[in-house]
Amino acid sequence: MKRVFLNSGGMDSLAVAVKLKDDELHSLYVHTGVPAADAQAEAARKIADKYCASHKMIVLHDILVPPTETGRIRPMYYNTPILAILGAAHAASLDIVSVVSGNKIEVFDSNFEKYMAKLLSTTKLRGERMYSRPLGKASFDDIYQIVKDDELLDQTVSCLSVPPCGICAKCKNRQKYNIGVTAQ
């Protein structure tokens, strides 16, 4: 099946690519301007080079919540629907009706799937949802099991800081498995 793959360059994206390696994936990375965006873009390109039929990068800065007092930058609360809509537009340009994401924490209501289907000008294709999350609510441990033997694992990017902060949940998970992060 042809799918547009929202590729962040992180472990979740690598896991989606591994899981859907038999599908024709068309990678889309959205450069949001966070400090780690260039590293994420490079990791996304490497994942796409190995697993995808094509790769495209869109630069779209200023879709972020301002840094908190701790100085940490967070993605905008509703970034998933924004990225999914960009994925739908890219899919439409390629005549593809499926968008997949590695995101596990979704922020949208029950009408979102209907909206995505309308954007993609279809309702169903072989029982597939138009916007899907192949990882579901997989834990970090589950995702690690999918990607642990992939040579790109150490090159994925999880933290939004450069260098990685070493204190956020994503960094702590990577430290647990000794995946290229040191505590600050």
The neighbour count for residue 111, using CB atoms within 10 Å, is: 8
Nearest to 19 by CA among 143, 114, 128: 143
**What would the two tokens of residue 23 be?**
């599908």
Q: What values do phi and psi take at 144, rounded to 5?
A: -60, -40
Looking at residue 113, its pLDDT comes to 65
Nearest to 102 by CA among 9, 180, 177: 9
Question: What is the per-residue pLDDT across 125-178, written as a single tens digit (0 to 9) for each?
Answer: 555 557 777 887 888 899 999 999 999 999 999 887 888 888 888 888 899 988
- Going from N- to C-terminal start, the domains of the chain cover 2-176
Nearest to 176 by CA among 130, 141, 138: 141
Q: Mean pLDDT in the chain?
A: 81
Dmax (CA) for the chain in angstroms is 49
Looking at residue 22, its pLDDT comes to 96
Between residues 62 and 122, which one has the greater pLDDT? 62
Architecture of domain 2-176: 3-Layer(aba) Sandwich (3.40)
Q: To which residue do tokens 């007092």 refer?
A: 69
pLDDT at 68 over 60: no
Q: What values do phi and psi take at 53, rounded to 5?
A: -75, -30
* Lateral strand order in the sheet of 54-59: 54-59, 24-31, 2-6, 99-101, 131-132
